[in-house]
């Protein structure tokens, strides 16, 4: 039933938009009661977060790819991860609408930094690997660096939304800005 609710919610979010879908409409389409949905998910926001579990799975595949890459550098992996996660953020059918919703409703907690989420854990691991290889100063607190990377990610997503002519290369901008920040941190 949990998977059915997730799949129905994703279809409705894609069709009508996140804000236009109610828990009642999800329940109706899933063939269950609203109360049954609340047995699995505390809120529509939590349901949206559960839908993005496929994103976590994709990030885990990237992590395996980096682990197998003996030629690449930690800094190269970090910059690649920045670009790829930005692209994922705008291409995933529910991730970007959930982001926009969460910026309007910060009390939802969707934008909270949660170290247990794959994205945040990978960022921290990559930061610490950069410190180990010497491409990022060891003076930088890894949690603070993750916070800064998240701020850049969010800011770029907003800028992407504001872009009108389609010339904004989100991935490239992300990598360039993070690279410049690291150069500044390293002095």
CA–CA distance, 150 with 156 (Å, rounded to integer): 10
Tens digit of pLDDT for each residue in 91-108?
A: 877 778 778 777 877 776
Dihedral sign, Cα of residue 52, residue 18, residue 115, residue 177: positive
Q: What is the CATH number of the domain that holds 44?
A: 1.10.10.60
Say whether pLDDT at 30 is over 80: yes
Q: Based on the domain organization, do 84 and 156 belong to the same domain?
A: yes
Strongest mean pLDDT among 3-12, 14-23, 31-40, 55-64: 31-40
CA–CA distance, 143 with 149 (Å, rounded to integer): 10
CA–CA distance, 101 with 147 (Å, rounded to integer): 20
| Percentage of the chain lying above the pLDDT 90 cut | 59
Please name which of 80, 34, 43, 64 lies closest in space to residue 176, comparing C-alpha atoms: 80
The pLDDT of residue 35 is: 95
Tens digit of pLDDT for each residue in 144-164?
A: 999 999 999 999 999 998 887
Q: Based on the domain organization, do 73 and 153 belong to the same domain?
A: yes
Q: Which residues contact 155 (CB under 8 A, 6 or more apart)?
A: none
Asked if 82 and 127 count as a contact pair (C-beta separation under 8 A), the reply is: no
What average pLDDT does the structure give for the chain? 90
Q: What is the CATH number of the domain that holds 111?
A: 1.10.357.10
Number of domains present in the structure of the chain: 2
Q: Based on the domain organization, do 42 and 61 belong to the same domain?
A: no
Dump strand ranges (E) for the chain: none
Q: Based on the domain organization, do 83 and 45 belong to the same domain?
A: no
Asked whether the whole model's pTM tops 0.95, one would answer: no
Tens digit of pLDDT for each residue in 44-88?
A: 888 877 877 778 888 999 999 999 998 999 999 999 999 999 999
180 confidence band (pLDDT: 50, 70, 90): very high
Note down the domain range covering 21: 2-49
Say whether pLDDT at 118 is over 80: yes
Q: How far is CA 104 from CA 95, 101, 112, 160, in A?
A: 14, 5, 14, 17
Say whether pLDDT at 42 is over 80: yes
Asked if 49 and 98 count as a contact pair (C-beta separation under 8 A), the reply is: yes
Say whether pLDDT at 38 is over 90: yes
């Amino acid at each position: 039933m949990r998977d059915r609710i997730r799949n129905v919610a994703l279809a409705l979010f894609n069709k009508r938009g996140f804000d236009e879908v109610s828990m009642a409409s999800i329940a109706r389409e899933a063939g269950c009661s609203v109360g049954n949905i609340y047995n699995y998910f505390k809120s529509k926001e939590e349901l949206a977060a559960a839908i993005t579990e496929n994103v976590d799975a994709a990030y885990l595949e990237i992590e395996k790819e980096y682990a197998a890459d003996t030629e690449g550098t930690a800094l190269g992996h970090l910059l690649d991860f920045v670009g790829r996660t930005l692209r994922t953020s705008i291409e995933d059918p529910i991730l970007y609408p959930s982001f926009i919703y969460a910026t309007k409703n910060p009390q939802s907690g969707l934008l909270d930094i949660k170290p247990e989420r794959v994205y945040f854990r990978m960022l921290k691991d990559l930061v610490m690997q950069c410190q180990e290889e010497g491409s990022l100063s060891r003076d930088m607190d890894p949690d603070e660096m993750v916070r800064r990377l998240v701020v850049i990610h969010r800011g770029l997503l907003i800028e992407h939304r504001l872009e009108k002519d389609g010339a904004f290369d989100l991935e490239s901008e992300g990598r360039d800005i993070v690279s410049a920040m690291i150069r500044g941190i390293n002095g």
